[in-house]
Every structure is written in C-alpha cells, then in structure tokens.
Structure 1
Amino acid sequence: MRVISLRCNGLISAVKQGLTEWIASKDADIICLQDVRVREFKVMGDSRFCPEGFDAFYFEGEDEDKGGVTIFTRHTPKAVMRGLGSYELDRDGRYIQADFEHVSVVSLLPPSPTAEPKELRAAFLESLETWMRKIRKKRRHFIFCGDFGVAARTLDLEEWHQHNESPGFTKEDRHWIDTLLNDVGYVDAFREVFANEPAYSWFPGPEVFDMPNPGAWRTDLQLASLEISRRVLAAGYASKRQFDDRVPLIVDYDISISDEEDD
C-alpha cells in the first residue's frame, strides 16, 4: 500500500502546478492532502481535481481561504469520520479519517505553532493526543498524515542552531511529538527507513521567521501504529519542489487495505 501526503497550500493552485499528473505517475493507493482551501461542490466531477480511479473525500473549513483536508483513495472506505467532535476545533476542517478493512488513514492539519489564539492549538493537540491514545486499543492499524508543524529533531531542521526558541522547535513542541512516539505508541514512518538522515519537507521564505536563512524543515510526517513499524518498506520526500514551498512524502507499507487483496 502506497500512501502519499502533501500540504498543498491550495488544491486549485497545486493542480495548476501539475498535481493531478504527478499523482497519476506515482501509483499510490491513498493521497492525503492538507490546506486544500476549496469547496467540494466547486470541484466535484471535475477530473482535474480528482485523479482517474480515485474517490475523493473532503472536510472543509468554514473559511474557504484556509484549511480543509482531503483523502483521495482507490479503495472504497468502510466509513469516513470528519472532525474530532468539537465545533471550535473542527471549524477549520482539520481532521478526516478513512476506515478500511485493516487500516485507517488520517489526513490532518493541526493549527500552526504560530497560530492565534495559542489556546486553540493547545486544545487541538490535546484532543488529538487523547484520540490517538484511545484508538490504540482498537484492533486495526492507523496512519496519521499531515503537517504537524514541528521539527522533532535537529536532523529535521537545517539551521537548527538558529531556532532554539522558534515556534515548531521549542522544547514543548518537540516533547509533544516525543510523547506520541515514545509513550502513546506510534512511529515516524520515514525514520523507520532513514533513522539518522537529514531530510526536509518545508522550505519557508526568510519572511516567515524574520531571518535571512531560516533553513528547511521536516514537519510533514506519517505517524503509524507501532505494530506496523516493520511493515514500512520504503519512504522518501520528493526531490523536486513542484508544489509551492512543500514536497510530498511517499511511504510504502506491507499492508493489505481490503480482504480482496488477500485473496
């Protein structure tokens, strides 16, 4: 099973940059997109916005100009869950989950570490962690795809020595990711393949951190249930920056999505 994740910074913009053709060339089973910034009814039925052979599932934000998450899938889900059950946390379209026979795949977009009010991000992360703990009791695998907004290690931040107190690299931010990995019971799929190799998914401009060279960050992750850590076959970030300031993350898992694949 191949899963691709990308914060596309606007689906319409990404399609103009060749997203549909790029997806068609990658033989993926599931595509998780974040920050799609579009109304589903505006793109429904338009083949430019859903690759051939895929079904599309959206969770929109109230404000069309920000947020929204999407899952494209070749396999029909048994169920689709939108949101975490709180209006304040869900109004920006931050969480969508597709449940298949053996695995659930999530496309999520937590509030940015620089977002205001800060209480919103804290509440979202707390709710997400509570949910991720709860589902560890379920007899199925989970894969969480998205821009977590955090560079968890110095390997994940090109100019880490400049960012000791920068949002997304504070001790509190990194501790939260560490908790998900070491306490709750998930693995960073990319790091299962490349444990100590620097890699980056976000290339912010100097205006973002008000410094000449803010460096590249790895904040776009796929966190998978601990039980499938040995089923990560390959992982990597696209080498070419084609979609604004982000590159997609591609991970191959030795997992069957449906019973039909086992036959």
Structure 2
Amino acid sequence: MKLVSWNVNGLRACLNKGFQQYFQEADADIFCLQETKLQEGQVCLELGEEYRQYWNYAEKKGYSGTAVITKIQPLSVRYGMEEDREPEGRLLTLEFDAFYLVNVYTPNARRDLSRLDYRLEWEDRFRTYLKQLDSVKPVIICGDMNVAHQEIDLKNAKSNQNNSGFTPEEREKMTRLLEAGFVDTFRHFYPDRTDAYTWWSYMPKVRERNIGWRIDYFLTSSRLAPFLVDACIDSEVMGSDHCPVLLMMQDVAVVTSPAGSA
C-alpha cells in the first residue's frame, strides 16, 4: 500500500505546475492534499474511475482546505473533530477496514505568534481525538503539521529557536503526541538523516541551497510499525513550497489492539 501527502499551497496553481503528471506517476492507493485553497466547484479533477475524492473546504475563500483521493473505498468519512465539520477545512478522517486515515493541516501560530495559544489548544484537542480513534483501530496521520520537531528537522535551528513552527511549546506538543503511542515514520527509518526537508521559503535560492524545514509527516500508531516498509521525501518535486512525502506499507489485514489494552 502506497500513501502520498502533499501540501500543494493552492491546487489551482499546482495544476499548472505538473500536479497531474506527478499524481499519475505516483500511482498511490491514497493521496492526501493540504492547503487546497478551494471552494466547491472551482476545480474538477479527472483522475480515473478507480479514485474516489473527498474534500473539506474552508468557509473562508482561498484559504486552507484538505482533500483525500483514494482507490480504497472508506467505510465512513468525517470532516472535523468534535463535530462533523471543520470551518477551516483542516481535517479529514476516513475509516477503512483495518485503520483510520487522518489528513491534517495544522494551524500555523503565525509569524508574530498571535495564534500560538489557539494552536496549542488545537493540538490538545487533536491529540485527544487521535487517542480516541486509536482505541478503536490503528491510525495513520499525514499532512502539514507545521512544526519541525527536532533540531535535525530544519537547517538553521539556533536562529529559529522561538520562531513559529519551532517554538518550545509547539515542539513539546509533537513530543507528547508521539509519546501517546504514535511513530514518526520517517525518523523510524532514518533517525539520523540530515538535510531532509519538506518545506522551503520562496525567498531566492533558498530551495536551491536546501535551506528548509521538515514539517510534513506520516505518523502511525506504534502497533503499525511491523507493517511499515519505507518513508520517503520527494524533495525534487516542484509545484509548491512543500514537496510530497510518501509512506509504503504492507496491507494492514489484521486489526491489532492498542498498546496497554487487554
């Protein structure tokens, strides 16, 4: 099973920069998008009859938004956490036979950190939500989580210590999420790999010089670790300020019990 996640930073723009060619070449079983910046009806993706498409649009035009394009038919689809809606279009949960898939675009704390308190509160609700899902069946989480977890996950750690996406508070929330029973799949396979980034500023020559951050993830319930095959970053793929991240897994045919359960 192959899964892809990509913050496209505006799907309409990305469609003019090779999105569909990459989509076809990737041939993923499940393809997740963040920051689609769409309203319903603004694009019509012709991707083949084998794919089903699920979209969560933000109420604000040209803002946020998530989508899941899947060959595997879900049992159910949810468009938020506490309620079956998400005003900023940041969350899609698809239930499959053996796992839940959660596609997320985590709120940014903003450059001046004016949204940090909201971000931290959102993180607590999100962790609780994932633990609730995990108590039923394993969870695969993917998306732009807007945090570089460790110093290895960005180029200039010292100069970014208190910047949005690398504040101690945001990093601690990621630590708590992983401690709640989830695995950062890229670090599972490549714990010491440096210069592995998924986002670069649009400033001149920043991407060319690979001055980036790793803020896009695939996490899984820890009990899915035996099913993991590889986790990759397609850093050469253009079309957005983010690049796609990939997860390869064996088919999850057996639902295992959460850690600590009887």
Normalising by structure 1, we get a TM-score of 0.87
TM-fit CA distance, 1:258: 10
Are residues 1:132 and 2:130 paired? Answer: yes
Task: Give the alignment partner of residue 193 of structure 1, picking from 189, 195, 206.
Answer: 189
Are residues 1:35 and 2:29 paired? Answer: no
Give the aligned partner of residue 123 of structure 1: 121
Note if contact 1:20-1:51 (Cα within 8 Å) is conserved in structure 2: no
Q: How many residues end up aligned between the 2 structures?
A: 248
3-state secondary structure, aligned to 1:83: coil
Note if contact 1:6-1:248 (Cα within 8 Å) is conserved in structure 2: yes
Q: Which runs of 5+ in 2 are unaligned?
A: 256-262
1:149 maps to amino acid: N
1:68 maps to amino acid: G
Percentage of pairs with the same residue: 25
TM-fit CA distance, 1:52: 5.4
Task: Give the alignment partner of residue 111 of structure 1, picking from 107, 113, 119.
Answer: 107
Aligned pairs for 1:144-223 (under 5 A) are 144-182=141-179, 184-198=180-194, 199-206=196-203, 215-223=211-219
TM-fit CA distance, 1:23: 1.2
TM-fit CA distance, 1:43: 2.4
Give the aligned partner of residue 210 of structure 1: none
Note if contact 1:100-1:257 (Cα within 8 Å) is conserved in structure 2: no
Aligned pairs for 1:58-73 (under 5 A) are 58-73=55-70
The whole-number CA distance in structure 2 between the counterparts of 1:258 and 1:197 is: 31
TM-fit CA distance, 1:187: 0.2
The whole-number CA distance in structure 2 between the counterparts of 1:86 and 1:186 is: 24
Structure 1 segments (4+ residues) deviating >4 Å: none
TM-fit CA distance, 1:135: 2.0
TM-fit CA distance, 1:116: 4.2
2:152 maps to amino acid: L
Distance 1:36 1:257, change over 3 A: farther
Give the aligned partner of residue 258 of structure 2: none
2:241 maps to amino acid: D
Give the aligned partner of residue 12 of structure 2: 12
3-state secondary structure, aligned to 2:125: helix
Are residues 1:85 and 2:79 paired? Answer: no
Distance 1:86 1:120, change over 3 A: farther
Note if contact 1:141-1:227 (Cα within 8 Å) is conserved in structure 2: yes
TM-fit CA distance, 1:134: 1.7
The whole-number CA distance in structure 1 between the counterparts of 2:74 and 2:254 is: 9
- 1:128-148 CA-to-partner distances (Å, cap 9, x unmatched) read 01111222211x221111111
Note if contact 2:52-2:71 (Cα within 8 Å) is conserved in structure 1: yes
Task: Give the alignment partner of residue 224 of structure 2, picking from 222, 228, 247.
Answer: 228
